[in-house]
Amino acid sequence: MHKNTRTLLTASIAAIVLVAGSFTWYHWHHQRAEAQAVAATAKAYTQAFAKRQYPTMAKQIDTGQLKGTGWHYTKKQLIARNQAVFDRVGASRIKISKLTTTPSAHNTYQLRFTATMKTKVGQLKALHYQAKIVKRNDTWRVRWTPALLFPQMAGKDTVQLTTTKAVRGQIYDRNGQLLAKNGTVLQAGLIPGKLGTGSTRTQNLQKIATAFNVKVSSLETLLNQAWVTADTFVPVKVVTAAPELTGVNYQTVGSRTYPLGAAAAQLIGYVGEATAAYLKKSPTLTAGSDVGKAGLEQTEDTKLRGVDGGAITIGHGDQTTTLLKTNPKNGQDLHLTIDAAKQQKAYTQLGNQAGTVVTMDPKTGALLTLASAPSYDPNKFVNGINQSDYDAYAKDQALPFVSRFTQRYAPGSTFKMLTAGIALANQTITANTTKTISGLKWQKDASWGSYQVTRTVNASSENMTAALVNSDNIWFAQAALQMGQAAYLKGLQPFFKATADLPLAMKPAQISNSGKLDRETLLADTAYGQGQLLLSPIEQAAMYSAIANGGTMQQPTLVQETTGKRISVLPAAAANTVKTALTHVVSDSAGTAHGLALAGHTIAAKTGTAELKKQQDTNGKTNGFLVAMDADHNTYLTVTLIENTGSDSVVTAMKPYLASLY
């Protein structure tokens, strides 16, 4: 072959190879770009699906082909359909795995992915989805079908959710008496078609409103609900009697009941039907679910409520496919340390005065009573309280919904027992230390300006016991000043660092706003329970248990089988010396708690009257306190607060209660 011919042939072959290579590279690059675009569409779709962001998901769908055998949607309807189905089953925590896209035909890919999700009736596992991804106007879009709701669905198939309610755990006292009970109540309801018309209807509604103590306007609101028909039973309220009234019928319904009623309302609380806000917050709830709305019913709701069972089914006309079926897990019972009989007695003795009675076994920390008054009837709330009853509670300036046993107060003179214990412990005083004081007012020096410490008994010479018997503010103010801020704070801090592990919302106790006692007047005031001290009655009981227990502070418990921390905060000798002195507050005729004296029993006690006023020598509200403990066998320690009164009234009110503790 001629040399020029060979050269030309070689060049031609090279050109052919170059063109072929360019075509192969272009085809590979095109396929790669196409695959990446398809994968991006698949990822965007499944991410939106997992997050339940259906408008975003719809942007990845071929909205020009939203129809098939037995179904046809607009884009808006598609979004609503997804929202409705997954709302119905309570879909949450959707996780996507095994996402793949593979070519299946010209401009068509096969999308596959697996999804798991949590529902109202349990975990749905391994749902294997598949669909086509097609090219639509130079973009890749998912060809949607009902199988992308659930793989088992087609056409006009429907999704149904049925629930089997878990039995709510009950709440018991220490002796097995029910405090929150699953029972039945009698419910009154209207039958609209039997009320009559015109003036007859008006008269019947008025009679019903009077009989049930509700407003006619409230009855009309119930009757105007969208679901009401002529033969519908329209619930009005829970009743104890069933008077015969035209247009009224009665039925027995399951209901949570509270045997102690108002006597334990703030502690136990109540349940009610889950509102839209509850349903949104907890996807496992369904319409009609009961949830705790106050007290322990609320704080322990998850344990008490348990987990509903049920089934998710797909309806194919007369046939069904079960996606998931679970059995309910009943709630756990709650066994409290509370003694129902003591709780009722304590509440009764408060006599609807604003106050609280906290009773504790100081040896174990078991809380025996947590009574608060005034109160409310939790039974009225379970099936929907009527507006007039609710308004009466809500407008009550005595605040019946407040749990006074968790609220913080200045403890007044009851706190002197701790000041005495600390002063004995650091040897600022002895049991025999005597102070000579003149008059009912005292100040350290002129640097205090017009501020003075006052007392009610003009005793010229007192030792520690006499100062406790007379509740002498000046004596304890002087002891604290002699001790000094550093020593007093060092003694107080162990009492305030410890906290109880209780299922109750409660702010921590405070020594002062800053935690310091950096002014002499604040140091003096704190020594006798005023200043900026704030303690809840529960915290007081815990702190004062150190006097009952020979220097060991016992943290309280409310749930049986739990253990409260025990902390040594005072030397036994100091605590026992104070406890002995407190018995004189009851046994001595001049003692502020002498009215508690019970034949055959030795009671250690301390009263207190905390003043709530902005300026000295002016009138203001006072809170009366009483701390009492069994000095013979250490079986109880009780802290009582009654607002807007003095300690004398508290002693009078609580003597029958203390007598019942023996």
Residue 615 clears pLDDT 60, i.e. is over it = no
**DSSP readout, 447-493?**
GGTT--EE-SS--SEE-HHHHHHHT-HHHHHHHHHHH-HHHHHHHHH
Residue 449 clears pLDDT 70, i.e. is over it = yes
HSE at residue 474, side-chain half, CA atoms within 13 A, is 24
Tens of pLDDT, residues 252-263? 888 899 999 999
- pLDDT given at position 28: 63
Tens of pLDDT, residues 267-320? 999 998 887 777 777 767 776 678 999 999 999 999 999 988 999 999 998 899
- What's the mean per-residue pLDDT of the chain? 92
Number of H helices, E strands in the chain: 20, 27
Shared fold status for 30-156 and 162-177+259-349+363-403: no
Measured CA to CA, the distance from residue 360 to residue 350 in angstroms comes to 17
Residue 393 clears pLDDT 80, i.e. is over it = yes
Q: For residue 352, what pLDDT band results from cuts at 50, 70 and 90?
A: confident
Q: How many CB atoms lie within 10 A of CB 253?
A: 13
Could you tell me which residue, 20 or 430, shows the higher pLDDT?
430
Measured CA to CA, the distance from residue 65 to residue 44 in angstroms comes to 19
What's the rounded mean pLDDT across residues 471-492? 97
DSSP E strands in 120-239: the ranges are: 122-136, 139-143, 158-164, 171-172, 178-190, 234-239
Residue 9 clears pLDDT 60, i.e. is over it = no
What's the rounded mean pLDDT across residues 584-609? 96
- pLDDT given at position 13: 57
What's the rounded mean pLDDT across residues 407-417? 97
According to DSSP, the residues that pair with 639 across neighbouring strands are: 358, 627
Tens of pLDDT, residues 132-156? 999 988 899 999 999 999 999 998 8
Domain 420-430+457-660: CATH architecture, name and number where available: 3-Layer(aba) Sandwich (3.40)
What's the rounded mean pLDDT across residues 626-642? 98
Domain ranges of the chain: 30-156, 162-177+259-349+363-403, 183-254, 420-430+457-660
Reported as type and span, the H/E element at residue 246 is none
- pLDDT given at position 255: 87
Residue 225 clears pLDDT 60, i.e. is over it = yes
- With 0-12 / 13-18 / 19 or more C-beta atoms within 10 angstroms meaning exposed / middle / buried, residue 517 is buried
Q: Taking a C-beta distance cutoff of 8 angstroms, is the pair 89, 279 a contact?
A: no
Measured CA to CA, the distance from residue 474 to residue 456 in angstroms comes to 10
Q: Taking a C-beta distance cutoff of 8 angstroms, is the pair 100, 113 a contact?
A: yes
Phi/psi zone of residue 425: left (φ > 0), alpha (ψ -120 to 50 degrees), beta?
A: alpha
139, 176, 284, 320, 423 from 297: Cα distances, Å: 55, 18, 18, 38, 43
CATH number for the domain running over 162-177+259-349+363-403: 3.90.1310.10
- pLDDT given at position 618: 46
Measured CA to CA, the distance from residue 636 to residue 244 in angstroms comes to 51
Residue 569 clears pLDDT 60, i.e. is over it = yes
Could you tell me which residue, 386 or 575, shows the higher pLDDT?
575
What's the rounded mean pLDDT across residues 45-56? 97
Strands 171-172 and 334-335: parallel
Measured CA to CA, the distance from residue 377 to residue 261 in angstroms comes to 5
List the end-to-end C-alpha distance of the chain, in Å, as a whole number.
Answer: 130
- pLDDT given at position 127: 96
Among residues of the chain, what percentage have pLDDT more than 70?
94
- pLDDT given at position 377: 95
* CATH superfamily of domain region 30-156: NTF2-like; domain 1 (3.10.450.100)
What's the rounded mean pLDDT across residues 440-450? 95
What's the rounded mean pLDDT across residues 366-384? 94
Q: How many CB atoms lie within 10 A of CB 434?
A: 13
Among residues of the chain, what percentage have pLDDT more than 90?
80
Residues 6+ positions from 221 with CB-CB distance below 8 Å: none
Q: Taking a C-beta distance cutoff of 8 angstroms, is the pair 279, 300 a contact?
A: no
Q: For residue 218, what pLDDT band results from cuts at 50, 70 and 90?
A: confident
| 3-state per-residue secondary structure call for 281-329 | HCCCCCCCCEEEEEHHHHHCHHHHHCECEEEEEEEECCEEEEEEEECCE
- pLDDT given at position 285: 74
CATH number for the domain running over 183-254: 3.30.1390.30
Measured CA to CA, the distance from residue 415 to residue 578 in angstroms comes to 12
Residue 613 clears pLDDT 80, i.e. is over it = no
Tens of pLDDT, residues 505-533? 999 999 999 999 999 999 999 999 999 99
Q: Taking a C-beta distance cutoff of 8 angstroms, is the pair 360, 541 a contact?
A: yes
- pLDDT given at position 26: 58
